[in-house]
């Protein structure tokens, strides 16, 4: 086995916009470095180093590969085991050839949700993929979508070459945890990846669990990066955090779209409203998790008349915004999120908010049917 440099250009890291050098190796991050000074909440950094959609890409004639990684996962003091670290998926010539559990490395212990964290340092672990087909082939190693993962080493029993250029259209997507897909079975089972495979495009997933709040630095990031297709899934975090009122929500959506259009004036752009969430359909946030583990809304439905946002109001406003802008922006489109996961699928929300792994796969198929089919916005 020969060690392959991760920073020499032989291996491409796709799906990440920043690469941090750490004591162990390199840490991919899904927002540019300049954005770090623009958010005070450490949870934003935490979700941007969760590598949903991030993959190592190269060519090799090796039949055996080793990847050494250092993960960081959480553990409540009341839990006997750390949270699952997720999976590493290996694709050979575009087909899933193996899936391995990511090893437990660093553990962040805490007394409860939101409590201060105590770092229990861990060691890197190695995953192996053997029995790969002979001959030169394209390889992608997809990192676990829910676990920050430092890349320590890559070893192969053959030659490693840079990947061929990817001539597929590039689809940039931004959304919440429901697009981050922490609950998916593996990194290639998130709904954006499933849909991208069906649509024959390359996806860059800028979704941020709990943090899809129309932040200007995200709009500027999308504005400045190459993109052939763009989609934005807007609303669930805004309602669940009671982050906007009706008066401020509409202008914020317009401003976010205006910034993106500064860099992509004619790119197909699909604005997606929230999927079903029974607790928030008519009741505003904020939200809390009840004793049964289900999400519950703490707002007053009567406050909607005064400007509080429910999911029903958000969908109406997003559709109204797209209708108004399309007179001068014919490449802007709207999709009701309930087309991806609707009222008859509410039982597939594991906690009343987040879809199950099977539901994520269905969402990917539903999106591909809508977006990439003849007559669709991404056709």
Domain boundaries, the chain: 2-161, 170-371
Number of neighbours of residue 120 by Cβ within 10 angstroms: 12
| pLDDT tens-place values along the chain, 379 residues long | 999 999 888 999 999 999 999 999 999 999 999 999 999 888 899 999 999 999 999 999 999 999 999 999 999 998 999 999 999 999 999 999 999 999 999 999 988 777 778 999 999 999 999 999 999 999 999 999 999 999 999 999 999 999 999 999 999 999 999 999 999 999 999 999 999 999 999 999 999 999 999 999 999 999 999 999 999 999 999 999 999 999 999 999 999 999 999 999 999 999 999 999 999 999 999 999 999 999 999 999 999 999 999 999 999 999 999 999 999 999 999 999 999 999 999 999 999 999 999 999 999 999 999 999 999 999 9
Reported pTM: 0.96
Which uninterrupted H or E stretch holds 250?
Answer: helix 246-263
Homologous superfamily of the 170-371 domain (CATH): SGNH hydrolase (3.40.50.1110)
**Interatomic CA distance for residues 220 and 373, integer angstroms:** 29
In 3D space, the residue among 161, 187, 167 whose CA is nearest the CA of residue 51 turns out to be: 187
Question: What is the CB-side half-sphere exposure of residue 345 using CA atoms within 13 A?
Answer: 21
Peptide bond into 286 cis (omega under 30): yes
Dihedral sign (CA 165, 170, 176, 182): negative
CATH 3.40.50.300 for the 2-161 domain, yes or no: no
Number of neighbours of residue 311 by Cβ within 10 angstroms: 28
**Interatomic CA distance for residues 169 and 69, integer angstroms:** 30
């Amino acid at each position: 086995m020969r060690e392959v440099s991760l920073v020499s250009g032989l291996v491409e890291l796709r799906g990440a916009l920043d690469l941090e050098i750490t004591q162990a190796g390199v840490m991919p991050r899904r927002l540019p470095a300049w954005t770090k000074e623009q958010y005070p909440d450490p949870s934003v950094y935490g979700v941007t180093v969760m590598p949903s959609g991030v993959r190592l890409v190269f060519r090799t004639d090796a039949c055996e590969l080793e990847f050494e990684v250092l993960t960081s996962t959480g553990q409540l003091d009341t839990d006997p085991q750390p949270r699952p670290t997720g999976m590493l998926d290996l694709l050979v010539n575009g087909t899933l050839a193996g899936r391995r559990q990511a090893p437990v490395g660093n553990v962040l212990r805490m007394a409860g949700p939101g409590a201060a964290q105590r770092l229990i340092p861990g060691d890197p672990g190695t995953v192996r993929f053997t029995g790969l087909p002979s001959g030169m082939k394209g390889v992608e190693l997809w990192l676990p979508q829910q676990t920050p993962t430092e890349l320590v080493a890559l070893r192969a029993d053959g030659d490693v070459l840079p990947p061929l250029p990817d001539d597929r259209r590039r689809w940039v997507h931004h959304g919440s945890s429901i697009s981050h897909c922490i609950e998916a079975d593996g990194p290639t089972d998130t709904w954006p990846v499933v849909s991208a495979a069906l649509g024959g495009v390359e996806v860059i997933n800028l979704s941020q669990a709990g943090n899809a709040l129309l932040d200007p630095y995200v709009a500027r990031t999308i504005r400045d990066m190459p993109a052939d297709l763009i989609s934005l899934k807007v609303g669930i975090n805004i309602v669940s955090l009671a982050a906007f009122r009706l008066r401020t929500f509409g202008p914020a959506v317009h401003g976010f779209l205006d910034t993106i259009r500064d860099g992509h004036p004619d790119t197909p752009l699909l604005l997606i409203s929230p999927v079903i969430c029974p607790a928030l359909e008519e009741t505003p946030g904020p939200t809390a998790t009840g004793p049964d583990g289900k999400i519950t809304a703490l707002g007053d439905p009567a406050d909607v008349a005064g400007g509080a946002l429910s999911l029903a109001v958000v969908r109406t406003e997003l559709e109204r915004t797209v209708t108004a802008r399309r007179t001068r922006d014919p490449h802007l489109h709207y999709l009701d999120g309930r087309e991806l996961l609707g009222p008859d699928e509410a039982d597939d929300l594991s906690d009343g908010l987040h879809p199950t792994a099977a539901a994520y796969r269905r969402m990917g198929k539903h999106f591909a049917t809508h977006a990439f089919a003849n007559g669709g916005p991404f056709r």
